[in-house]
Structures are given as structure tokens and as C-alpha cells.
């Protein structure tokens, strides 16, 4: 594909995304489908919750999970009581932490944390000269997984999750009737699309899907755009954060 085609595709994709995202506002408690009173005017009735959230935000400073994203994850899981959670792409657990602390706060629920922790899988579908491929191919994936396991032990969160060391395609048979799905796996066009195609149908009606790194590009192509189609077909867009880089959907 020549550069003009790439740029044209990129512009079309961004325009389409903009039209859809334009309908979604930045995350606020107004977007909750239930329990709005619990979280009236942005203040929490339970001071323990505010304290817990602050501890998570402090831990996640300079991590892959922004405070904005951690807050959204915790509010949606806690206030909507989303107890069956699945994350595709756990890496060292930055976004898994707010998921698990929310389940611990609810004293109910379970999260399936899926990652291949494999350099080969992470670069699959990316061209070898792409910056993402170069970065993903040099990581020590064992050390990254160990970091996650250490974090789970340190926060006493092991009983709230199952760590699945498989590709997203292999792991899909383990999960069903998902309340909250975080799609944050493969960066390639086909890989991200496959995750969306495999996992979005597993989310129950009324359940939520958070798609991360929406604006990532590989060789100047916005590779997560194709992953949006299964979502736009079956879900309503609820909210966006990080200037459209993270989108929240609700299954119809
Ligand atoms: C952007 S990172 C996830 C970041 C993580 N959610 C966080 O907040 O720290 C993407 C992850 O997807 C994983 N991944 C890539 N391709 C995969 C595949 N086919 N199956 C499972 N995991 C995959 C990579 O190993 C990597 O850990």
C-alpha cells in the first residue's frame, strides 16, 4: 500500500471514529446505567472507597494505566457491580490492578487475566521494521509476568483472578457471559480485530467493553480501527477518555 493510500485510510478511519466518539462524552458518573444515587455528584458515600482508589492511583503513577482509566474502570465495575471480568492483554498488570481492587471492594467476582507473554505473539501481524515490533520483540516477557505475579501477591488479590498464560485465541474457550471486558492485546490490525471478533460476542447484554490504545499506529496505519466494527455493530458507545484513545461501550 503506498503512502497516499495509508494516509487516506488513516483520515477516513479518524473521521469515522470522530463521528462516533463525538456522540460520547468524557467519562463521568452520569454514564452509569444504575446506582447513580450511590455516587451522587461525584462524591462517594463510603470513604473507604476513596481511600482505596487513591492508593491504586498512587501505585499506577507512570504506568501504562492512566489515573483517568483506573478511575473509569473502578467506578464502572463497582457501581454497576460487574463481577465477571476479562482482560485480554494484561502485561505487568497495570490495568488489572483497578479491576481486581474493585472486585475485592465488592467482595465478589472474578477476573480472567489473559496474556501470551510471548515476543513472537506480541509482534505477530506487525511488520518487522515497525517501531512497535522492535519494542515488543526485545522485552523480557518472563520478567513482565513475574512482575504481575508479585503485584498480585503483594496486594493479596490472587483469589480474585485466574492468570491465563495463553494466546487470546486459545484462551477464549475459558470465558463466557462477561460483565466487563478490557480489550488491550495485540497491536496489529488482524490481531486486534480477532480479539474483538472473539470476545465481544461473549459479553452479556448490558455488559461493558473497554477498548484501549485505540489510536495506536503501526507503520503509519491506525491498526485498531478494524477492531471497532464488531463493537459498533453490537454495542452503544458510552464514553471516551484520553482524547479518544480509550473507548467504553455497552452491549445492546
Ligand atoms: C498494551 S499491552 C497490555 C497493557 C496492560 N493492559 C497494562 O495496562 O499494563 C498488550 C499485551 O498484549 C499481549 N498480547 C499481544 N498479542 C497477544 C495475543 N495474541 N494473545 C494474548 N496476548 C497478547 C502482549 O503480550 C502485551 O502484554
Give residue-wise pLDDT tens across range 157-193. 999 999 999 999 999 999 999 999 999 999 999 999 9
What is the percent of the chain where pLDDT is above 90? 79
* CA angle, residues 30, 36, 37, in degrees to nearest 5: 135
Please return the burial class of 219, using the count of CB atoms within 10 Å of its CB with bins 0-12, 13-18 and 19+.
middle
Tell the residue number behind the cell numbers 497491536, with chain if given: 187
Q: Is 244 exposed, middle or buried (0-12, 13-18, 19+ CB in 10 A)?
A: middle
More confident residue, 78 or 5: 78
Residues 6+ apart with CB under 8 A from 33: 80, 206, 250
Could you tell me the pLDDT band of residue 128, with boundaries at 50, 70 and 90? very high
Q: How many domains does the chain have?
A: 1
Mean pLDDT of 71-99: 97
The per-residue pLDDT for 13 is 59
In DSSP terms, 112 is beta-bridged to 86, 162
Residue 34 CA to ligand 1 center (angstroms) comes to 31
CATH of the domain at 237: 3.40.50.150
Instruction: Tell me the mean pLDDT in the region 232-237.
Output: 95
Q: What is the pLDDT of residues 23-79, one digit of tens each?
A: 568 888 888 887 665 555 455 678 889 899 999 999 999 999 999 999 999 999 999
**Lining residues, ligand 1, CB within 6 Å:** 64-65, 89-92, 94-95, 114-117, 121-122, 167-168, 184-186, 191, 213
Q: What does the pLDDT read at residue 41?
A: 47
| Ligand 1 pocket mutation, candidates 91, 94, 112, 163, criterion most atoms within 8 A of CB | 91
Structure confidence at residue 32 (pLDDT): 84
The better pLDDT of the pair 6, 197 is held by 197
Q: What residue numbers bound the domain in which 120 lies? A: 3-251
pLDDT of amino acid 33: 82
Phi-psi region of 232 (alpha: psi -120 to 50; beta: other; left: phi over 0): alpha
Across residues 208-220, what is the average pLDDT?
A: 95
- Which of 186, 216, 223, 227 for a ligand 1 pocket mutation test, highest count of atoms within 8 Å of Cβ? 186
Residue 15 has pLDDT above 60, yes or no: no
Q: Which of 114, 251, 122 is nearest to 192 (CA)?
A: 122
Pairing of strands 161-165, 110-115: parallel
pLDDT (0 to 100) of residue 110? 98
pLDDT grade for 9, boundaries at 50, 70 and 90? low
Amino acid at each position: 500500500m503506498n503512502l497516499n493510500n495509508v494516509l487516506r485510510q488513516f483520515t477516513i478511519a479518524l473521521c469515522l471514529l470522530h463521528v462516533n466518539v463525538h456522540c460520547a462524552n468524557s467519562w463521568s458518573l452520569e454514564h452509569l446505567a444504575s446506582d447513580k444515587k450511590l455516587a451522587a455528584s461525584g462524591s462517594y458515600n463510603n470513604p473507604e472507597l476513596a481511600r482505596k482508589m487513591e492508593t491504586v492511583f498512587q501505585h499506577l503513577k507512570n504506568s501504562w494505566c492512566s489515573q483517568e482509566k483506573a478511575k473509569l474502570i473502578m467506578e464502572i465495575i463497582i457501581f454497576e457491580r460487574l463481577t465477571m471480568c476479562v482482560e485480554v492483554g494484561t502485561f505487568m498488570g497495570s490495568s488489572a490492578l483497578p479491576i481486581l481492587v474493585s472486585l475485592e471492594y465488592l467482595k465478589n467476582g472474578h477476573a480472567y487475566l489473559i496474556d501470551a507473554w510471548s515476543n513472537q505473539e506480541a509482534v505477530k501481524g506487525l511488520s518487522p521494521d515497525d517501531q512497535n515490533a522492535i519494542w515488543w520483540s526485545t522485552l523480557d516477557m518472563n520478567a513482565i509476568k513475574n512482575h504481575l505475579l508479585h503485584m498480585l501477591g503483594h496486594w493479596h488479590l490472587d483469589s480474585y483472578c485466574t492468570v491465563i498464560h495463553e494466546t487470546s485465541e486459545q484462551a477464549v474457550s475459558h470465558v463466557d457471559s462477561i460483565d466487563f471486558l478490557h480489550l488491550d492485546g495485540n497491536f496489529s490490525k488482524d490481531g486486534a480485530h480477532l480479539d474483538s471478533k472473539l470476545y465481544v460476542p461473549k459479553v452479556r447484554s448490558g455488559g461493558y467493553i473497554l477498548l484501549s490504545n485505540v489510536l495506536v499506529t503501526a507503520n503509519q496505519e491506525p491498526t485498531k480501527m478494524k477492531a471497532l466494527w464488531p463493537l459498533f455493530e453490537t454495542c452503544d458507545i458510552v464514553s471516551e477518555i484520553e482524547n479518544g484513545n480509550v473507548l467504553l461501550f455497552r452491549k445492546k
